[in-house]
Amino acid sequence: MTIQHFSLLNKTTRQQIIDEIHSLVLPISPLFTPKMKSGAKFNYQMTCCGDIGWISDHFGYRYSKLHPETQQPWAKFPPSLSTIIDYLKLQGYIPKNYQAQTCLINKYLAGDKLGLHQDKDEQNLTAPIISISLGASGIFQLGGMNRKDQVQEIILNPGDIMIMADEDRLRFHGFKGILKGHKRVNLTIRQVY
């Protein structure tokens, strides 16, 4: 199984990432509530940074070079995130030629959740997906290759890294909700092309 889950980021590093998101990302790429094709709202707020960002609206899911509300290019990767990517390469967790092209930033408050889905809007479905958990602990759901497969619950704590690679890159997964505390932020880093 090519799922790697480990605790990596100490409190200082986590705070640095949060501070950089507040000072460098949100002023350029503010949080928004995505909608499904039907018009139904997602149960959390999101934004992105990087060359391209994942969005969802009445046209459906896709990657876009522009923020859907400001119509401006996404904020750049904050330095602390680039440092983490470099470290993961150096330690052999991800390939040296991995290109971190986008980071999806999901913000969940108590009661917010994300249903089971596969990440498959990317042209490149072989590059690993890197997920970083910040803030409140929460319950991640890890399913199989089919929606009906058994789902395992994994607790993600602040500072945890989860990497889904190879045959596990396309597993169904979701987020059931935060355990205690009032806010969780999940960063999903992807190579789209």
Smallest separation (angstroms) from Fe ion to the CB of 119: 4
- Tokens representing residue 21 in the block: 């998101």
Angstrom distance (rounded) from CA 189 to CA 163: 10
From the CB of 102, what's the least distance to Fe ion, in Å?
12
Residue 68 exposure: Cα atoms within 13 Å on the Cβ side: 20
Which positions lie near ligand SIN, rule CB under 6 A? 104, 106, 114, 131, 140, 173, 175, 186, 188
168 part of the interface to Fe ion, by CB under 5 A: no
Rounded distance, CA 165 to CA 152, Å? Answer: 17
Q: For the chain, report the end-to-end CA distance as a whole number of angstroms.
A: 24
Q: How far is the CB of 175 from ligand SIN (least distance, A)?
A: 4
Per CB under 5 A, contacts with Fe ion among 112-131 are: 119
Q: Which residues of 5-44 are buried (b: 16+ CB within 10 A; e: fewer)?
A: beeebeeeebebbeebbeebbeeebeebebeeeeeeebbb
Minimum CB separation from Fe ion for residue 19, in Å? Answer: 25
166 is in an annotated binding site: no
Contact map string, positions 170 to 189, toward Fe ion, x by CB under 5 A: --------------------
Q: Which residues, in sequence order, are bridge partners of residue 178?
A: 138
Secondary structure of 100-121 as H, E, C letters: CCEEEEEEEECCCCEEEECCCC
Q: Is 121 annotated as a binding residue?
A: yes
Q: Which residue is nearest to ligand SIN (CB)?
A: 186
**CB nearer ligand SIN, residue 36 or residue 90:** 36
Q: Is 185 annotated as a binding residue?
A: yes
Please state the residue numbers annotated as binding site for substrate. Answer: 54, 61-63, 121, 147
Please state the residue numbers annotated as binding site. Answer: 54, 61-63, 106-108, 117, 119, 121, 147, 173, 184-190
